[in-house]
Amino acid sequence: MAAPALSDRPSPLRRLAAAEGDRRPRARLAALALTALLLVICVLSLGVGASGTSLPAALWQAFNGEEIAMRDRLILFDIRLPRLAMGMLVGAALAVSGAVMQGLFRNPLADPGLVGVGAGAGLGAILAIVLGGLLPLALRDGLGYALVPVAAFAGGWVTTVLLYRIATREGRTSVAVMLLAGIALAALAGAISGVLVYMADDSQLRDLTFWGLGSLAGATWGKVLVAGPLIGLALAATSFLAHALNALALGEAPAAHLGIPVQRMKRLAVVSVAAATGAAVAVSGGIGFIGIVVPHLLRLIIGPDHRLLLPNAALLGASLLLVADMISRTIIAPAELPIGIVTAVIGGPFFLWILLRNRAGLDL
Amino acid sequence: MARPHILPLTTPLTVRVAALVLSVALAGPAMAQEAGRRVVSLGGAVTEIVYALGEQDRLAARDSTSTFPVEATALPDVGYVRALSPEGVLSVAPDMILAEESSGPQETLDVLEAAQVPLVVVPDGYDGPAIRRKIEIVAEALGVPEKGEALAAEVEATLAEAVEGARPDQPVRVLFVLSMQGGRIMAAGRGSSAEAIISLAGGVNALEGFNGYSQVSDEAVLEAAPEVILMMERGGDHGGDSADVLAHPVLGQTPAAETGAVLRLPGLLLLGFGPRTPEAVTALSSALKAARP
């Protein structure tokens, strides 16, 4: 079952991936390397920022029993650490969701946006920004600035449930109907968003623009605590999907003959992607490209086996987003570049380069 | 240093204010060294006020909307006033933050509060009293209330003079176009800062029926029949020069286009509502008078 399409044709990839058939040793190596990479990036990320606060200096102070200066403590524990945690969660959520969607739809272009989560979450956020002022005062004050994330999550969730209902008939979910209905729902959500943008005033428009570009700058422990369990649960659930997604690569009927509970598996896949992406989009805005680049990059190196692909995608997605965030917060410090711009600028050309080098071997 | 609040709260307000001014005046030099030596100024008008007070040496950083005076642009830029990042602001080691009301996001302000950096919010407002309030709050925060009073009085007087001089025989109908990206017109409606400056300068907003800034339909623009089209002088996507306006299928059909009455003034001068507002009123009103056929 491992690597069916890639290994039976001659290509430059063959040299890259010398291991025919069984690439598990290579994948295990990759997992080790990616874990090490993520650890290094985490340490770097804690040490890098607009201010001169240095991690080693603070640790040294703590080690010597000295009091760490209040400002340094705040920057390390209330700004950089929640940001690090959120970056890891969001990066892992986007990358794994992308890999699951591509496996489920057997389509290399699939990403969470296709099941309407992206558009629905966007619509929720826009509703909150533009019409939030109309809410009863008590409700608005109760939610505070959690209003936009909560609305984004609700929007993504509602769209996904709706889509699932549309695509399910007599207990069977049609992946093709889901794909097409997803496009239709995304267009509808886009249209409603358009109406709201038309109604928005000047300052709301500017808020919308910045939300759309995505940022981890608003990371707080509160947001991490809300998004963390959701994303964590969803990612844990996807680990039960790996075997089924592998079987599904052969088609739905063969997968069912292999004893895979196809229907239940599809439901689990959609629900976990909606939860992970909805939570990620809600706390960080629209961050593109991670869900496409990370899974494809990994497939080129370790092959398409989802049992290896999914955990590695989580590791690489987290690392990539943290690196992008480090760039975003230092390149024009003390100001900050929206992270969506950074992921697109470094992700786009890099992905093209990989594609050009390996286009003969890429066949999902 | 003795805090100013040493009198009981029941003391009459005038006495307390006098005592406060006195204590600050006496303690002035010493206090200036205590707090507000590294000030981050957020918002174009706020930064202008700091400069007008002559306290610019105490600025450590500014936001990206603070572009006047030109020297201010040499200060580190902590980013757009509505999308601030907490570490960026803290990185300039501020001991005070002067922020216009719309600064944000709230998450960032909360972290700054946790960092125990005094945050002084300067309320927005689009009239004479609002400008006075902004100046007083900034001056108070910087510990120079007497300079603030002098500046506020001066601005008030010149503003009154400018408004008096601007009074026309018959108000000119002005359409403020914020942007015309892709041919879609974003214009000023009721209660907007643009409407406020237009009426101070003796004009009348040609558009009503919506609040703030919004995209408007072509028909509404034709119906408004503006005699003058007012825009911000700024590069980039707000662009479109007068030729673009005249070539626009709808704007080109307005009375303003027929007489070529398309005005451009710097955005911060026009809509900042700071110490330069009298200047803006005078510039706009003389342009309006000149535009009248």
ipTM confidence: 0.71
Chain A interface includes B10 (CB < 8 A):
no
Distance CA(A280)–CA(A277), nearest Å, equals: 5
With CB atoms and an 8 Å threshold, state whether A71 touches B77: no
Question: pLDDT tens digits, residue range B74-90?
Answer: 999 999 888 888 889 99
What token pair was written down for B179?
């942007």
The CB density around residue B2, as the number of other CB atoms within 10 Å, is 9
Instruction: From A347, A356, A228, A216, select the one nearest A289 (Cα to Cα).
Output: A347
Residue B157 to residues B54, B165, B176: CA-CA distances in angstroms? 19, 12, 27
Residue B155 to residues B149, B275, B281: CA-CA distances in angstroms? 10, 6, 12
Q: Which residues of chain B have a CB within 8 Å of the CB of A50?
A: 85, 87-88, 90-91
| Higher-pLDDT residue of B281, B107 | B281
With CB atoms and an 8 Å threshold, state whether B91 touches A201: no
Nearest to B79 among A49, A207, A335 (CB): A335
User: What's the gap in Å between the CA of A209 and the closest CA on chain B?
Assistant: 10
For chain B, which residues make up each domain, given as ranges? 13-162, 167-291
Q: Which residues of chain B have a CB within 8 Å of the CB of A203?
A: 82, 102
Q: What are phi and psi for residue A21, nearest 5 degrees?
A: 65, -90
Q: Which stretches in chain A have pLDDT values below 70?
A: 1-21, 113-115, 137-146, 202, 360-364
Question: pLDDT tens digits, residue range A161-211?
Answer: 888 788 888 777 787 888 888 888 888 888 888 888 877 776 777 777 777
Distance CA(B145)–CA(B138), nearest Å, equals: 9
E-assigned strand segments in A55-127 = none
B167-291 has CATH 3.40.50.2300 classification: no
B167-291: same fold as B13-162?
yes
Instruction: From A93, A148, A87, select the one nearest B107 (Cα to Cα).
Output: A148
What token pair was written down for A78?
């209330």
- Where does B13-162 sit in CATH, by number? 3.40.50.1980
Task: Give the confidence band of B160 by pLDDT, cuts at 50, 70, 90.
Answer: very high
User: What's the gap in Å between the CA of A199 and the closest CA on chain B?
Assistant: 7
With CB atoms and an 8 Å threshold, state whether B92 touches A334: yes
Nearest to A145 among B102, B106, B111 (CB): B106
Q: Which residues of chain B have a CB within 8 Å of the CB of A75?
A: 87, 90
What domains are there in chain A, each with its CATH number? 12-61+77-358 (1.10.3470.10)
